[in-house]
Amino acid sequence: MIRLVIDCFGGDKSPSVNVEGSIRALEQFPDLSLILTGDETAVRAELDRLGASEGERLSVVHAPDVIGCDEKPTDAIRIKKDSSMMRAVQLLRSDDDISGMVSIGSTGALVAASVLRVGRLRGVCRPAFCPILPTMNGGIVGICDSGANVECKPDYLRQFAVMGSRYLEQVYGVENPRVALLNVGVEAEKGDELHKEAYRLLSDTPGLNFVGNMESRDLLTGRYDLVVCDGFSGNVLVKSTEGTALELLKKLKRDIYSRTKYKIGAFIMRKMFAEEKEFMNYQNYGGSVMLGCARNIVKGHGSSDAVSFAKCIEQAYRMEQSGLSGLIEADLDRLPNAKI
Amino acid sequence: MIRLVIDCFGGDKSPSVNVEGSIRALEQFPDLSLILTGDETAVRAELDRLGASEGERLSVVHAPDVIGCDEKPTDAIRIKKDSSMMRAVQLLRSDDDISGMVSIGSTGALVAASVLRVGRLRGVCRPAFCPILPTMNGGIVGICDSGANVECKPDYLRQFAVMGSRYLEQVYGVENPRVALLNVGVEAEKGDELHKEAYRLLSDTPGLNFVGNMESRDLLTGRYDLVVCDGFSGNVLVKSTEGTALELLKKLKRDIYSRTKYKIGAFIMRKMFAEEKEFMNYQNYGGSVMLGCARNIVKGHGSSDAVSFAKCIEQAYRMEQSGLSGLIEADLDRLPNAKI
């Protein structure tokens, strides 16, 4: 049995999507067991609505409070012990049988709680945030770190590469993932000292399929499976990719509605546009995971629906099922001169 | 008379677009005078083709060599003294009457030559690269620095803000430009030490319309006129924005061609699609300028056509005409605790 704890609040459509996603996941995986945290009246009302009830594989733990996205993360995780997120983290810490957690609440609070409360796997310098984006040839690309560590050392970047590679292999079935270093040019000597040294370390890491530097313009080409970056530039990369796609879609829509003729054309092409929209919907690619944490922690988008929430649960489930944590620890043990 | 030197090689369609763009600019501005550098036979053949000839406002200086985009910038500017770019730089240095230069050749070589050979304005710590992108509400946004300085100090970022503001005001007529700092979140305390300190400095700079931190996802919203960043994350920002837009357009085109029905719909919408393409064509927004250099240096895209090349010349012309350099020096003189 794989046991996970589910933070039922903090999203745009919480707790309904969280509870419905949980039920979907339970139906999909017979060896999955979930503990839902949040206001018990609200959570139970959702269970009633869905015709589900508590039992051996599903229980509710009361937590009346919610951490808002505008709260300062380090304060929130210290003060709001009765929040759905911190109650989930507390369960994760106190019960060794619970292997992971899913939340669509405050990213900052979850990152802070993961690092400060849950702890790291053996050998990990810094846990890192790894979202997945779709590529233009129908594949995916992971970005690690996308914002948990705004200040990095070269050694951290090497660990991000090792952890991210193993994650893509185990959870997404990517064989021998092609790893690139985000830089300002493709030549080996590009970038600041951090990136020059990271390039050298990555080149010298046995077992890693390091293919060199990547410029941000090539993220979506499908030529790379994992992009390694410091959390500052990784955050800029992910958000500008999402932002540009979103703004362009919005402009396209506005322009279509500006003339009847265009509306007719768009009607003929409605299936294609629906597919483009679906393709660019980040929710279809699951949540971001915190790699290197002692437990499997998945953060879904705040605007997740039940289907994407269930996908986040599936990610945490597959991380545990594949033994990802143990594999990462073994990988890090083998790293030359790993600074532990 | 405003005199500029034009590097006629190094672009995808050089020297024809360079020479044609030069003739266009000369027709537009009666008080403009241009010196063209490059292989004189090739350049004169282009002039002949266009029915133009040398005279008081147009001359050719022979430079048989070309710097390729794959050459190491610092080596290239040292060794290739007979290249069209370095001959142009040499003229810029030796003749005080020449106020600027336009090139569509190697960005790296031009940045290196600007910094190492041309020198800085009084008070400037580091010249910075400032491209312009279109925003979704029909405006523009400048990004400074986009890659000339991969390692920065807080004081540099403040200077980028001051120089970029003045540039947008003088060359693009933006009144009181709204300046944002690129960061991983909007709150004041976000980011690494560099960005926290830069935030404090920008907040305390008199005369600057600093509106706070910006996340990369909001670059194209039209809420900001200038985004200040270190050259590493600025480079990631600009290239990922361009790359995402380009990849999405390519995908859209591929999908349209996949079915006859979609081709019909796209035919009805052809004017709209042409407008979208034109809107996203970076060439329409001019080149990137090197702010803080002793002369006005403009770098156009390597794939520029004659129209966009003429726009780059116009930028250098307007920089000189508006007295931008003197205004920037005066602005920097007034900065509290400016480290000169």
Q: For residues B140 and B315, give the distance between their C-alpha atoms in angstroms, rounded to a whole number.
A: 15
Q: Are B339 and B125 in contact (CB under 8 A)?
A: yes
| Residues of chain B contacting residue A143, judged by C-beta atoms under 8 Å apart | none
Low-confidence stretches of chain B (pLDDT beneath 70): 337-340
DSSP letter (8 states) at residue A93: H
| Residues of chain A contacting residue B246, judged by C-beta atoms under 8 Å apart | 217
pLDDT for the residue A340 = 44
pLDDT for the residue B34 = 98
A221 interface with B at CB cutoff 8 Å: yes
Closest alpha carbon within chain B to A262: B269
pLDDT for the residue A274 = 87
Report the mean per-residue pLDDT for chain A. Answer: 94
- pLDDT tops 70 at residue A127: yes
Phi and psi dihedrals of A254, rounded to 5?
A: -60, -45
- pLDDT tops 90 at residue A252: no
Report pLDDT digits (tens) over B244-294: 998 988 888 888 888 898 888 888 888 888 888 888 777 778 899 999 999
B247 interface with A at CB cutoff 8 Å: yes
- pLDDT tops 60 at residue A177: yes
* Interface test with chain B among A190, A213, A217, by most B beta carbons within 10 Å: A217
Mean local confidence (pLDDT), A78-83: 94
Q: Are A86 and A80 in contact (CB under 8 A)?
A: yes
Please report the beta strands in chain A, taking only residues with DSSP state E, as ranges in sequence order: 2-7, 32-38, 58-62, 98-103, 128-130, 132-134, 140-144, 179-182, 210-214, 226-228, 288-291, 296-299
Question: For A221, which of B221, B247, B265 is closest by C-beta distance?
Answer: B247
Q: For residues A264 and A225, give the distance between their C-alpha atoms in angstroms, rounded to a whole number.
A: 39
Q: What is the Cα gyration radius of chain B?
A: 21
DSSP letter (8 states) at residue B336: T
Tell me the nearest-neighbour CA distance from A135 into chain B, angstroms. 9
Phi and psi dihedrals of B292, rounded to 5?
A: 100, -5
List C-alpha distances in Å: A153 to A193, A196, A197, B197, B230. Answer: 10, 11, 9, 20, 18
Question: Which of 249-278 (A) contact B at CB < 8 A?
Answer: 250-252, 255-256, 259, 261-262, 264-269, 272, 275-276
Q: Are A213 and B187 in contact (CB under 8 A)?
A: no
* Interface test with chain A among B143, B184, B186, B242, by most A beta carbons within 10 Å: B184
B246 interface with A at CB cutoff 8 Å: yes
Report pLDDT digits (tens) over A276-320: 888 877 777 889 999 999 999 999 999 999 999 999 999 999 999
Tell me the nearest-neighbour CA distance from A239 into chain B, angstroms. 5
Closest among A331, A275, A290 to A109, alpha carbons compared: A290
